[in-house]
Amino acid sequence: MSHKGIGASIPRKEDERFLKGRGEYVGDLFRPGLLEVAFVRSPHAHARILGITRPIKGIVYTAADLAAVPPIRAQINLPGYRATEQPILADRKVLFVGQSVAMCLAKSRALAEDLSEEVGVDYEELPPVLDVADALRPDAPRLHEDRPDNLLSVLNAEAPIDAIAAAAPVHVTRHYTNARQAMAPLEGRAILAEWNDRADQLVVHVGHQNPHVFRAALAIALNLEERRIRIIAPDIGGGFGYKAPAYPEEIAVCWAAMKLHRPVRWIEDRFEHLTAGASAREISGTVHAHADAEGRILALDVDFAVNIGAYSFWPHTGAFEAVQAIGIIPGPYRIRHYRARSKTVLTNKPPQTPYRAVARPAACFMMELTIDAVARAVGKEPHEVRALNLVSAAEMPYASITGKLYDSGDYPASLRSALSAIDLPAWRLKQAAPRADGRAIGVGIAMYTEHTGISTNTFGTMGIALMPGYEQANARLTPDGDIEVAMGVQNHGQGMETTMAQVASEVLGIDPGRVRLLHGDTGLTPYSTGTYASRAMVMNGGAVAAACERLAERMRPLAAHLMQCAAHEVGFSGGRATGPGGATVGFGEIGRLWYKTPNELPPGVDPAGLDVTAGYRPEDDRGAFSYSTHVAVVAVDRDFGSVEILDYVVADDCGTRVNPMIVDGQVLGGTAQGIGTALYEECLFDASGQPKSVTLADYILPGPTEIPAIRLLPTETPSPKTRFGIKGVGEGGAIAPAPALLNAINDALRADGVELGAAPATPDRILAAIEIARGARAGAAP
C-alpha cells in the first residue's frame, strides 16, 4: 500500500455518492403523512402586532400556541452584555422583515404557502432603525422595550496609548465599512422532525453543523430530556457557519411534530434566506494608526461597531463578533500599544450570526487597509511597511498584545513567497505604461494570522452556554477486520470522511478505504460541540488518532497471540499487524479471534474489547495559528467601475496538511467567498428596512467567471501544540480577499486620488469614489 495517511492527496471517499446524485440531504427525505411548513413572515422591519386572524381551515400556529416554548436567550459573561429574548414566533412585536409570525402546515409546500396567504396579521408600523448611528441616537426607537437603549454589548480593550500616539511622527485615520452579507450555502436550512415511539424520541433530521449542540438547544426549548432527542445531520449543502446556531424556525418545526405526532418538514428557500437570513459581516470602524517615519506602527487605536440585527443568537451570542475582532485586529504585526473599543448594536435587521471566519474578515480589512494607508503616508511600498511590522520567525512563539500566543510560523517568508510569485516589479512597469483598454492596474496585499482550533482556554472566560473542551472519537474493529470511527463533528464538504480515515490510516496502517466514518448523529457518536471555528481537523483529528491508538493497544495482544510473539513486538502496516521475522496477520483474523472465536483467546485479555472511545485536547490549548498572504492584481475600468482580477496568489500555511488536495480546496473555496465579500455580495435594504436583494439575480454570488485561477503557494509549519502539527484551515481563505482587492483597487486608482474603505467595492462605489475624488481635485484647483 502506498502511503495514504497524513500528507497524501488521496481522492475523497465521499465523492462517489455526490457524483451519482445520491447524496442524502434533508430535502431528499420523504415520510408518509409528511406535513410541509411555510412561515408567515413579517412584511415590516419594526411593528407591533395588534392581532392575528387565522383562516377558517388549515393548521396554523402562532405565538399563542407556543406559549410553553421559552424564547431563545443566549448568555455570555461579558460586562455590558444583556441577553435578548427572541420568541419562536413573534408575539408582541416584529423586529425585522422576514421574522416568523405564524407557521402553516399542509401536505405540500405550495399548499402551505397558500395557507400562509390566508393568515391576517394586523400591524402597527413603528419607525425602524437600520444602521448603527441611527440606533445609537438617544431618541432612537428601541427594539426591545425592556432595554434602556439599542446596545447589545460594549466591549473595550483599554490601554494607555495616548502619550505614545501623540509622540509618533505619522498619524493615519481611516473609516471602514463592511456590508451585510448572506452566507448563501447552495442548500438552505432544512429540517424534518418526527416522533419515534419505539425509541421514545424526537428524531430530527436537520442540516446542522453541530448536532449535539442543537440537541441541547432543543432540550431547553421543548423542555425535553436530551436522551429523548436524536439529531441526525445527513448530507448538508454547505454550512459556512449559517447552520451552526439554534434558530426559531427549527424549534417551531420540532414543536409542531410533537404536537401533531406527525412528521413535519421545512426547507428554507432562497427568498427566505436572502430576507430573513441576511445575516453576516456588517461591521464598521475607525482606525487611528500612529507610526514612526519608517512606517513602524507604534500604536493602534480602533473603534468599531457591529450591526448585530434584532437578536443575539444562541449559543455564542451577538457579542462574539466583537470579541473575535478585538483579539485579532493586530494580526501578524508586532503591535505593542493597542486600544480597541466596540459597540454591538441592535437594529431592525435579521440577527447577524457567525459566517466563515466570523469577524476576522472585518478585522483584517481594517488592519490591512490601514497598513496601506501608513505606506502612503511614509511614501513606501505597502510590502515594505508590512515587512517592517511583521512578527519574525525568530520571535515565535509570540505573545500578542491581546494575549494570544502565536505558536509558530514565518510570516515574512509568507510575504516574500507571495510577492515573488506575483512579480511585483513587472506589474509596476505595466502599471506605468498606458493600456490600450484604458484600464488601471493595481496590486494589493493582505495578510492575516488565524486563531484555529480554539478551545476551552479561549472560550473558558466567556461563560457561553456550551464551551468546547475535550474532543472524543470512537474507534472499533469490525468482525471482518475493518475500522469504524464515530465522531461528534459533522462533515459537510470538508472532506472529513476522507481526512479522518487518513488519520486512522496513519495510526493503524490500514487503507483509508477500509475505514468507515460515522458522524452527524447524536445517537451514534460521542459528544462534540461540532464543526465550526476551524476546529474539526485539529481537535477531532487528535481524537481519532487517540481512539485508534487505544484500539491498537487492544489489538496488539490479540495479534501477538496469533503470531506467537510478544505484544510489544507487534506493529501495524499495510493493513496488517506485523510481528518479528516478517510474520503478519490480517485485521480480519484479529476480528475473527475476538468476536467469533473468543474461546481461542489467551487468558488475561482486556474484556473491554475492540471498541474504544478516547479523547484529545492539546496540552496547551490556546490554539494553533494558521497564516496567509494574499496578493491580488486587478484592472479597474474607470468608466464602468468594474474590476477584473488579473492574478491572485495565496501563500498559505496551516501546519501539517492531512490531505493537501483537500486543504487547497478549502483555501480556494474560502478565497472565492472572500472575493464575493470584496466585490459582489451585499444585502441591500431600503429606508424602511425592506430587503432589496431577494433573488440571486440581485444578490450576486461570484460564478466561474468572477473567480480567477487562484494560484496557491502552500507551506507547512507544523504547530508545536497540536497532534501531528495540524492547524485549522476551513475559514482562513475568506479573511483576506476583501482587503487584498481593496488595496489593489486603491493602488490602481491612486492617480485618481481614490481610496476606498468600503466593501464590497461595487461598480457604483468605485465610480462614485472616482467622481468624488475628481470633484475634490476640481474644487481644490486654483
Partner 1 sequence: MPDIRLSVNGEAIEESAEARLTLADLLRERLHLTATHLGCEQGVCGACTVLVDGVPVRSCIRFAAACDGQAVQSLEGLEHDPVMEALRAAFTRHHALQCGYCTPGMLIMARDVVLRLPDADPARIRLEMSGNLCRCTGYLGIIEAIHAVILARRG
Partner 2 sequence: MKPAPFTYHRAASLEQAVALLAQGGGDTAVLSGGQSLGPMMNLRAARPSQLVDIGRLEALRGISVAEGHVRIGALSTHAAIEDGAVSGPLGRVLARVAAGIAYRAVRNAGTIGGSLAHADPAADWPAALLALDARIHLRGPGGDRAVAIDAFLAGAFETAKAADEVIVAVDVPALGPTARFGYVKFCRKPGEFAEALGAVLYDPGSAQARVVVGATGSRARRLPAAEAGLAAGLSPAAADIAALLAPVLGNPSALVLKRQTAAVHRALQEVLTDA
Give the Cβ contact number of residue 623 at 10 Å.
28
- Residue 755 CA to chain centroid, in angstroms? 29
Of the residues 1, 7, 27, 571, which one makes contact with partner 1 according to CB under 8 A = 27
From partner 1, partner 2, none, which one binds at residue 640 (CB under 5 to 8 Å depending on kind)? partner 2
- Start-to-end CA span in the chain (Å): 78
Binding residues vs partner 2 (CB under 8 A)? 108-110, 113-114, 117, 269, 271, 639-642, 680, 695, 697, 700, 702-703, 705-706, 762-764, 767-768, 771
CB of 244 to partner 1, least distance (A): 15
From partner 1, partner 2, none, which one binds at residue 125 (CB under 5 to 8 Å depending on kind)? none
Establish how many alpha carbons lie within 13 A of residue 651's alpha carbon, considering only the half-sphere containing its beta carbon. 21
CB of 468 to partner 2, least distance (A): 38
Q: Is 513 in the site for partner 1 (CB under 8 A)?
A: no
User: Whose Cβ is closer to partner 1: residue 28's or residue 611's?
Assistant: 28
Query: H or E segment at 646?
Result: strand 643-653
Strands 100-106 and 35-41: antiparallel
How far apart CA 324 and CA 337 sit, in angstroms, is: 18
CB of 30 to partner 1, least distance (A): 6
Three cell numbers written together for 614: 478516547
User: Whose Cβ is closer to partner 1: residue 26's or residue 95's?
Assistant: 26
From partner 1, partner 2, none, which one binds at residue 50 (CB under 5 to 8 Å depending on kind)? none
User: Whose Cβ is closer to partner 1: residue 17's or residue 147's?
Assistant: 17
Under 8 Å between Cβ of 575 and 510:
yes
User: Whose Cβ is closer to partner 1: residue 108's or residue 420's?
Assistant: 108
How far apart CA 351 and CA 690 sit, in angstroms, is: 15
Under 8 Å between Cβ of 726 and 719:
yes
Q: Is the peptide bond before 704 cis (omega within 30 degrees of 0)?
A: no
CB of 91 to partner 1, least distance (A): 30
| Per-residue contact flags (x/-) with partner 1 for residues 472 to 501, judged by CB under 8 A | --------------------xxxx------
CB of 672 to partner 1, least distance (A): 4
Under 8 Å between Cβ of 250 and 69:
no
User: In b/e form, how buried is each residue of 199-212, taking b as 16+ CB within 10 angstroms?
Assistant: eebbbbbbbbbbbb
Three cell numbers written together for 381: 511600498
Q: Which parts of 237-256 interact with partner 1 (CB under 8 A)?
A: 237-240
CB of 664 to partner 1, least distance (A): 7
CB of 267 to partner 2, least distance (A): 11
Give the Cβ contact number of residue 11 at 10 Å.
12
CB of 771 to partner 2, least distance (A): 6
From partner 2, partner 1, none, which one binds at residue 113 (CB under 5 to 8 Å depending on kind)? partner 2
**Sheet architecture: strand order including 35-41:** 59-62, 100-106, 35-41, 264-267, 190-196, 201-206, 229-232
Q: Which parts of 632-671 interact with partner 1 (CB under 8 A)?
A: 661-662, 664-665, 668-671
Q: Which residue has the cell 495514504?
A: 4
SS3 of residue 344 by DSSP:
strand
Query: H or E segment at 667?
Result: helix 660-675
From partner 1, partner 2, none, which one binds at residue 22 (CB under 5 to 8 Å depending on kind)? partner 1
Q: Is 30 in the site for partner 1 (CB under 8 A)?
A: yes
From partner 2, partner 1, none, which one binds at residue 763 (CB under 5 to 8 Å depending on kind)? partner 2
- DSSP, res 9: -
Under 8 Å between Cβ of 33 and 90:
no
The footprint of partner 1 (CB under 8 A) covers 11-12, 14-23, 25, 27-28, 30, 108, 110, 184-187, 235-240, 267, 269-271, 492-495, 661-662, 664-665, 668-673, 695-697, 701, 703-705, 707, 709-710, 733
